[in-house]
Structure 1
Amino acid sequence: MTCLFATCQAPIQAALRPAVWIPGIKKLHSRRERWIIKMATPQEAFDDAVKALTKLEDKEFDGKVISLSKTDKNRLFVQCYCFSKIQWLDVVEISFHDSGNGTTLAKVYCFSSGALPLIIPPPIPLILNLALFFLPYWDNHFTKMWLEIIRRNMDLEIVPEHMV
């Protein structure tokens, strides 16, 4: 379950995203993938992702929680917040595009939003995460794990490609 402090601070932290301000350092705690989704239009893929994320909102994975934060049906864009056990915030953003031949290309970006967890009372983690934006840290493969969980819960056939 997400704590109240994390729930309140997550939209601000996700919008500011201080952990990905520096190009070299952000690669330690972010992941980009392209998903080739066969036999589906971008709208069908978007709907499937929203359905999967809605289903995941009702589950907890060893204290980890996924929360659907934003959907844009016109842009075919989905954003969700992924909280670790101690409320570190990772953000997943997926946009769906037609790639022809009945397949859809999903551009997926998952990133850690800051070095400190949001379980700390506000505004302390927000201020310190902004001040410590240059601090390199490792995400312990959480970004990869979140994407795998989302993919496994979608009904459509997805071929992931990791991008550097």
Structure 2
Amino acid sequence: MAAYEPTIFAQWQSDLQVNLRPSMWIPKLRDIHCHKISGVISGHEAHEVMAALEAATRSLTDKFQLRPSQKQGTTFYRVYAYTKVEWLDVLEFRLRKTGDTTLRIEVEGFSSGVVPVSVPLAPLLNSAFCWLPFKDHGFNKRRVEHYLRELEKSGIHVATD
């Protein structure tokens, strides 16, 4: 299945929105639209985990309107998840080798702002309205859980903290 293609405004504004991260500026407010997990993966190399994450993105694209965004070697993977009106949620996976056969994984799913990225000047508006509380209605948690299930299907178990 092909990756989800956002509208032109969303394409132009997504990277800026994620780099600014206005929804993450205020600590207590970010907690209501952010889901984090961390854990340990044993017996797998980082490149195997990255390949499984890429496969998971392909298999979950229809369900969550996903678009791979950034990959840095075998240590970082980012996916954009768009809602139907193109609110932008972000999934970030960080891997760190902690032993000969052990990896530490940190996963964060968060909503990037209160204004959809399909709206012109969304990053600027989201920066101005960063103080507005909003919920993600559990979408970030569900996406993270779906990725963990997809990793399990690939034979990669994450022992969460």
TM-score interval, normalised by the smaller of the two chains: 0.7 to 0.9
1:91 matched to which residue of 2?
90
Contact 2:21 2:113 in 1 (8 A): yes
1:137 matched to which residue of 2?
134
**Counterpart residue identity of residue 46, structure 1:** M
1:68 aligns with 2:65: no
Question: Structure 1 residues 11, 160: CA separation in 2 closer, same or farther (over 3 Å shift)?
Answer: farther
Give the alignment of 1:14-93 within 5 angstroms. Answer: 14-53=18-57, 55-56=58-59, 59-61=61-63, 64-73=64-73, 76-93=75-92
TM-score between the two structures when normalised by the length of structure 1? 0.84
**Counterpart residue identity of residue 69, structure 2:** S
The correspondence for 2:17, drawn from 13, 20, 26, is 13
Structure 2 residues not aligned, in runs of 5+: none
Q: Which runs of 4+ in 1 moved over 3 A?
A: none
How many residues are matched?
155
Q: Deviations over 1:26-65 (max 9, x none)?
A: 1011111113223212232123223322x247x322xx31
Structure 1 residues not aligned, in runs of 5+: none
1:127 matched to which residue of 2?
124
Question: Structure 1 residues 13, 56: CA separation in 2 closer, same or farther (over 3 Å shift)?
Answer: farther
1:147 matched to which residue of 2?
144
**Counterpart residue identity of residue 67, structure 1:** R
Backbone CA RMSD of aligned residues: 1.9
Q: The residue matched to 1:78 in structure 2 has which SS?
A: strand
Contact 2:148 2:158 in 1 (8 A): no
Contact 1:94 1:107 in 2 (8 A): yes
